[in-house]
């Protein structure tokens, strides 16, 4: 049986978690200037971007292993998330639809309101990625 190398997903998840821990430290954030706070939040968003990319790619690889490449490779992103939920790899496909929309927003334009929206969504993304990683680790064992 083939196993996934989850190293990149673990590392990106660890980095995202550290970034979120930093912004969650009220004392630390209050000691920074407004510009520094924006830069820290931008770092959180960047961590979200590469963690999201690693996440959906690992999900797809696992589904290819389970279901066969031809069928999975033809799926839209929404259908990929629906199948991932059916297989118990992610908890709620609707959340992942929202993460995908947020990721697209970050790659096409910079807008302070959109940036704040993505930042807030990132805080809810962490448990979803942990769920996925846990499910992938179980599939590997």
Q: Which residues are catalytic?
A: 103, 108
Q: In angstroms, rounded to a whole number, what is the distance separating the alpha carbons of residues 2 and 41?
A: 38
Q: Are 123 and 20 in contact (CB under 8 A)?
A: yes
Under 8 Å CB-to-CB from 140, ≥6 apart: which residues?
A: 3, 4, 6
């Amino acid at each position: 049986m083939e196993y996934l190398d989850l190293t990149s997903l673990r590392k990106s998840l660890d980095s995202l978690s550290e970034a979120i821990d930093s912004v969650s430290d009220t004392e630390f954030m209050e000691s920074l200037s407004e510009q520094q706070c924006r830069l820290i939040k931008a770092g959180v968003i960047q961590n979200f971007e590469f963690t999201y990319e690693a996440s959906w790619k690992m999900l797809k690889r696992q589904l290819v292993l389970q279901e066969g490449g031809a069928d999975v490779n033809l799926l839209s992103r929404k259908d990929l998330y629906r199948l991932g939920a059916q297989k118990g790899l992610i908890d709620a496909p609707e959340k992942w639809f929202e993460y995908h929309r947020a990721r697209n927003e970050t790659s096409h334009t910079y807008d302070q309101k959109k940036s704040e929206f993505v930042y807030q969504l990132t805080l809810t993304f962490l448990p979803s990625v942990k769920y996925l990683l846990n499910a992938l680790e179980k599939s590997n064992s």
